[in-house]
Chains A and B, each alone.
Chain A
Amino acid sequence: QITLKESGPTLVKPTQTLTLTCTFSGFSLSASGVGVGWIRQPPGKALEWLALIYWDDDKRYSPSLKSRLTITKDTSKNQVVLTMTNMDPVDTATYYCAQKTSGSYYGWGQGTLVTVSS
C-alpha cells in the first residue's frame, strides 16, 4: 500500500523560506522510473504543479517558480524535501506530494495547509 504524508510548518512569515517534507512508504525512490512531485492549491483555486524529482535525481521545476524552488530526496529515509524561498501571502495553499510512476501521478498525500502571514 502506497502512502505519502506531507509535513512542515502551518504558518510562515512573508520573506521566509518554506521547507516541506514528503515521507512515503510502499515504494522505493530508487526504482527506475519512479518520481515524487509537489503540487499546491490555494484556497478555492486550481491545482498548480510545482516540482518533481526522479529516481535518478533528475529534477523538474515549474518555469514560473523555478528561481524559488529546490527539490531534493533522501532515499534512505524515504523522504522528498521541497524548499520555497521568499514566501508571500499569495503562496498560501494546501501543498500535496504525489508519487509518479508508469506515467501516472499514482498516489497522493492528504496535503498540508501552509498560511503565509505576518
Chain B
Amino acid sequence: QAVVTQEPSLTVSPGGTVTLTCGSSTGAVTSGHYPSWFQQKPGQAPRTLIYATSNKHSWTPARFSGSLLGGKAALTLSGAQPEDEAEYYCLVSYSVAWVFGGGTKLTVL
C-alpha cells in the first residue's frame, strides 16, 4: 500500500505564510491523484478545505490555497490566524483506494 508523507509539525507566526506538503511513496503526486486537504481541530470531525488539488468549498477561508509543488501536493496558508492552529491531513487517490497522510500539526505562534 502506498504511503503518503506530511511534515509532522510546522509553526507559523500570526499573519505569516506557511506551506504544508503531501508526498507519495509511488512517485510524484499529480492532479490525477485528486489530492484533498482536511483541517481537524481537537475534539472535532475533520472538515474538507481543498479537493481535487486546488478547489475550495464555500466555507474554505480565502487564505488557504492548494497546488502541486515539486512533485507534491501543497497547502499554502497566507496570513495565518490563531484559529488556523489545527491538524491538517492530505488524502490521495490511488484509483482503487485512498490513503491519508500522517498529518501536520500546525502551530500559530
Contacts and interface: CB of A to CB of B under 8 A. Distances in A.
B71 to A, nearest CB: 21
A7 to B, nearest CB: 15
A105 B96 contact: no
A51 to B, nearest CB: 9
Contacts of A62: 1, 97
A76 interface: no
B46 A103 contact: no
A26 to B, nearest CB: 15
B97 A108 contact: no
Interface in A46-93: 46-49, 52, 60-64
Interface residues on A, range: 20 to 34
Interface residues of B, number: 23
B91 interface: yes
Interface residues of A: mostly helix, strand, loop or mixed? strand
Nearest to B46: A108
Main secondary structure of the interface of B (DSSP, over half): strand
Contact of B45 (A37, A48, A111): A111
B57 A47 contact: no
A62 B71 CA distance: 24
B38 A47 contact: yes
A105 B57 contact: no
Nearest to A96: B45
A109 interface: yes
Contact of A105 (B40, B48, B55, B97): B48
Interface stretch (B22-30, B76-84, B98-106): B98-106
A48 B57 contact: no
B51 A104 contact: yes
Interface of A: 37, 39, 46-49, 52, 60-64, 96, 102-106, 108-111
Given A49-B91, A104-B52, 7 more contacts: A46-B89, A46-B100, A47-B103, A60-B96, A60-B97, A103-B34, A111-B45
